[in-house]
Amino acid sequence: MSNSKPLRTVRSFVRREGRLTPGQQRAIDTLWPKFAINDGDNLLDLNLLFGRNNPKVLEIGFGNGASLAQMAENQAEDDFLGVEVHRPGVGQLLNLIDQQGLSNCRVACTDAVELLKHRIADNSLDRVQLYFPDPWHKKRHHKRRIIQPAFVTLLTKKIKSGGQLHMATDWQHYAEQMLDDLSNNPLFTNSSNDGTYIDRPDYRPLTKFEQRGHLLGHGVWDLLFQRR
């Protein structure tokens, strides 16, 4: 009998659960059936999920959900699916969806990579958003960054031709890696005029985290690529 063990999948996140506030727990208990997606392995019918055939936007790692809720409110013609592994943020977004009466936003509390691989149909997404992912700034941890060539290849299958991948980070080294990994994939085209970064689009809200960074002199790099 072989004693070899299967290779461990390197994840881009660590579950730091944190404590749910009573309001967040109540949102998960009461709003989950209406606005959240249960775990499973069946392919999602996004048009059925939202009840219409409108552009579909997937955001990976929405944090506390404030930015995503604002985008869903401002872009009522688009449907947003947010993926986050930390339940306090999920509870917070569920509350915002309910308070703002958003019919175009749904939530999944799971590993975004596994969701993309097994539950999102090919050529079904109009835009993927990845804002301020964990930079894993130590060199030995760079392998944990979600943007890697293999993940970029996965996105080429899920994003429609003409669709977009929009990323933002406040770590310059990660921005440079993102730029390299996307530029080296022949199925993505940089939307920047000079082949590097873009100004923050109006549709991406300026977060409190980002505002604090500006006050401290930190840079932010936005990257926008189009699927050929």
d(CA 94, CA 36): 8
What is residue 9's predicted lDDT score, i.e. its pLDDT? 59
Q: Report pLDDT for 207.
A: 84
**pLDDT score for 122:** 98
Indicate the average pLDDT of the chain. Answer: 93
Question: Strand, helix or coil at 175?
Answer: helix
Average the pLDDT over 38-62 and give the result.
97
Extract the tokens encoding 13: 């996140």
pLDDT confidence tier of residue 10, bands split at 50, 70 and 90 = low
Sole residue written with tokens 């002199």? 217
Residue 1 has pLDDT above 70, yes or no: no
DSSP 156: H
Q: Provide the pLDDT confidence category of residue 176 given band limits of 50, 70 and 90.
A: very high
Q: Tell whether the torsion through CA atoms of 147, 150, 154 and 159 is positive or negative.
A: positive
For the chain, report the end-to-end CA distance as a whole number of angstroms.
48
pTM assigned to the model:
0.91
Please list, in sequence order, all residues whose beta carbon lies within 8 angstroms of the beta carbon of residue 33, skipping any fewer than 6 positions away: none
Which region, left, alpha or beta, applies to residue 195 given φ > 0 means left and ψ of -120 to 50 means alpha? Answer: left
Stretch 5-16: mean pLDDT: 50
Q: What residue ranges do the domains of the chain occupy?
A: 48-227
Q: Is 45 among the catalytic positions?
A: no
Q: Which CATH architecture has domain 48-227?
A: 3-Layer(aba) Sandwich (3.40)
More confident residue, 156 or 15: 156
Q: Among 59-68, 131-140, 202-211, whose mean pLDDT is lowest?
A: 202-211
Give the pLDDT score at 21: 96
Residue pair 181/224 in contact by the 8 Å Cβ criterion: no
State yes or no: pLDDT of 49 exceeds 60.
yes
The predicted-structure confidence for 87-139, as pLDDT tens digits, reads as follows: 999 999 999 999 999 999 999 999 999 999 999 999 999 999 999 999 999 99
Q: Which residue bears the tokens 């939530």?
A: 107
Query: Which pLDDT score is estimated for 215?
Result: 86
User: pLDDT tens-digit profile of 13-47?
Assistant: 455 567 999 999 999 999 999 999 999 999 999 99
Q: Among candidates 186, 177, 187, which has minimal Cα distance to 157?
A: 187
Q: Return the pLDDT at 5.
A: 44
- Residue 2's pLDDT is 42
> Residue 23: which H helix or E strand, with range?
helix 22-35
Say which of 134, 170, 194, 199 is annotated catalytic: 134
pLDDT of residue 4: 43
Residue 6, number of CB atoms within 10 A of its CB: 5
